Amino acid sequence: KDFPDVELSHMYVDNAAMQLIRWPKQFDTIVCGNIFGDILSDEASMLVGSLGMLPSASIGESGPGVFEPCHGSAPDIAGENKANPLAMILSAAMMLRYDLDRPDEAQLLEDAVEAVLDQGLRTADIKQEGDGCELIGCVEMGKAVAAQVESLEMKSAVTV
């Protein structure tokens, strides 16, 4: 009732899992306990191709939130230049938008990630055989996004 523009719906987790596959656009935000959140986020990752693409946030009523990729730190591939940094970059965008009230900077990061993907750059987790995209590592992906941020900042400064 405090937020009349927000629609609230309750459902059991098994139904939520099915609905997530059936019609994912019906969800803007899903709030649930940790174990169900882990299960649903793993399922949702396949809608976008990989856990490496999903940012996440744990936001309470007071204090700062915790922003991290759904996949955590990926310790099984640490130091191998294989991890997909996009979920972490998108988690930083969420932090800018929801915790630091910096929507323009959040949009800049999101636009940079989209531009890099539009260029056909892919880490191993989202690369598909025959897709015509270039396979790159974590470091290269991070550098590509950073370059896009600089490029987009320049364009923004020129058009202002």
DSSP states of 23-75 as a string?
A: -GGG-S-----HHHHHHHHHHHHHHHT-GGG-EEEE--SSS--EEEETTTT-G
Most confident of 24-33, 59-68, 115-124: 115-124
DSSP E strand boundaries for 61-120: 66-69
pLDDT at 60: 78
pLDDT at 106: 95
| Nearest-angstrom CA–CA distance, 76 and 53 | 17
Q: How confident is the model at residue 3 (pLDDT cuts 50, 70, 90)?
A: confident
In the predicted model, is pLDDT for residue 160 greater than 60?
no
Considering the chain, what is the average pLDDT of its residues? 89
pLDDT at 70: 78
- Nearest-CA neighbor of 58 among 84, 81, 29? 29
CB distance 82 to 50 below 8 Å: no
Q: Is residue 34 packed enough to be buried (19+ CB in 10 Å), middle (13-18) or exposed (0-12)?
A: exposed
Mean pLDDT of 32-56: 84
- Nearest-CA neighbor of 40 among 7, 64, 92, 27? 27
All residues at 6 or more sequence positions from 40 whose CB lies less than 8 Å from its CB, including other chains: 13, 16, 17, 20, 30, 32
Residues β-bridged to residue 58: 66
